[in-house]
Copies of this chain bind each other. A is one copy, B any other.
Amino acid sequence: MSLTIKLQITNNLNLKLGTIKKSAYTSYSTKIRHKPIYHSNPLISTVYKPTMHVDGSSSSSFSIKSSLIDPDGGTLVDLVVPESERAKKKSEAEAMPKVRLTKVDIEWVHVISEGWASPLRGFMRESEYLHSLHFNCLRMKDGSVANMSLPIVLAIDDETKERIGSSPNVGLVGPDGDLVGILRSIEIYKHHKEERTARTWGTTAPGLPYVEEVITPAGNWLVGGDLEVLDPIKYNDGLDHYRLSPKQLRKEFDKRQADAVFAFQLRNPVHNGHALLMNDTRTRLLEMGYRNPILLLHPLGGFTKADDVPLDVRMEQHSKVLEDGVLDPETTIVAIFPSPMHYAGPTEVQWHAKARINAGANFYIVGRDPAGMGHPTEKRDLYNPDHGKKVLSMAPGLEKLNILPFKVAAYDTLEKKMAFFDPSRAKDFLFISGTKMRTYARNGENPPEGFMCPGGWKVLVNYYEGLQAEEASQQQAVLTT
């Protein structure tokens, strides 16, 4: 029996909160009837959870919850082999036919192994692939549905397929030749690239970054199976400490005694419009009765397109935003979401939201044109900018997540600060897109005062200066050779 509270909040800042569902696990709120009971371990709260039985009768039982929202499928998937078994599994894997992984494949291994894609336990077999491609979800054995909008698949070429032959298991080898994991009880099926692209992106126009760089060069077969990862995936790029797994995040939320976690997905530097929105969301949640809402500032860390700001620069910029006090470190957790980026708009935003359920967030902020980009061959947005939040609100399997749509923030030239766009005085507002922001930084121009905290802006300017110096020296090198 979950407790459903319907709230329709009107506010001056145009933050539109829809119907808010609050599960019985949101135990700190004064509005919740069932009081939590704590174990001696402060990270684990034992929440009184009435259970609905199959016969329809309702009885009470105690269950241990380490978080605010159940992972999809009920249990967080964890496919990293325990240390004690690694040596044995490694020698077992050595004897299997090998599949060589690309950098992006490794990112997916990372994603699957830590349970971001729970209940998925490996690269998709054909049934899961078809479920995902046609219905954007997986159906569990008990009839329930988990959202799964992107096919998470591993491509192999004809030669690899032949090498595998009828072997039921394969060893997975990283780009550097290191043994990464095992895929068991495999199934090999055709990689229909055109259909996959059309159904995932809603276009097959040339110039989609993930398609051009990942799908087109990939093999004509897909191999699905149950994944085991021999060692936790590390990148050794100085950012691994930011790569908290869903399990670690859930623990952290409990440690901080969060009673609401709101996730903000981004792949761009944080400007003051983002900050306004995140801070405003926190205020709204406090007004709703939550006592300790925690922000998960969750930049995407996998594959991005060439002209996006690189991850290390973004992480440095995000640090400055917290240092400069634009966001409150006390109530913010910054971590990296290890998924590659598809730029697949309404289809991908479901993945972004779903993965955050598994990480323990029960609120998800969604803005204009999430995961969108310009049409690769036409002068327009690839997606209707409103479709992302609409599709998110209707997506099967995301019902338990509270979706927080917001109106777009823009630079208010009267107030000289970022503010929610007010259509009644549209001419006072300046829209500064990611592209425009990057152009400012690239040209060494300053954006309008109040657009971004100075420390954060400096990081970007330095990055582009370095990039230009590098480009100049490369041009010089070309000219002199």
Which residues of A are in contact with B by a Cβ distance under 8 Å? 52, 55-57, 126-127, 130-131, 134-137, 139, 145, 190, 192, 194-195, 198-199, 201-205, 346-347, 383-384, 387, 390-391, 394-396
Contacts and interface: CB of A to CB of B under 8 A. Distances in A.
Contacts of A135: 135-137, 394-396
A394 B55 contact: no
Contact of A391 (B57, B134, B390, B396): B134
Given A135-B136, A136-B135, A390 B202 contact: no
B202 A347 contact: no
A421 to B, nearest CB: 21
Given A134-B391, A135-B395, A192-B384, 9 more contacts: A127-B390, A130-B394, A135-B135, A135-B396, A190-B384, A195-B383, A198-B202, A198-B204, A199-B199
B204 A203 contact: yes
A391 B130 contact: yes
Contacts of A130: 346, 387, 390-391, 394
Contacts of A201: 198
- Count the copies: 2
A52 B56 CA distance: 10
Contacts of A199: 198-199, 202
A379 to B, nearest CB: 14
Closest 4 CB pairs of A and B: A56-B56, A195-B202, A198-B198, A198-B202
Nearest to A382: B195
10 contacts: A127-B394, A130-B387, A131-B394, A134-B136, A134-B347, A134-B395, A194-B203, A195-B203, A195-B383, A198-B204
A382 to B, nearest CB: 9
Contacts of A52: 56
A70 B205 CA distance: 42
Contacts of A195: 202-203, 383
B394 A139 contact: yes
A396 B127 CA distance: 14
Contacts of A57: 56
B190 A194 contact: no
Contacts of A139: 394, 396
A396 B143 CA distance: 10
A205 B139 CA distance: 31
Nearest to A195: B202
- With most chain B CB atoms within 10 A of its CB, the pick from A57, A127, A203 is A203
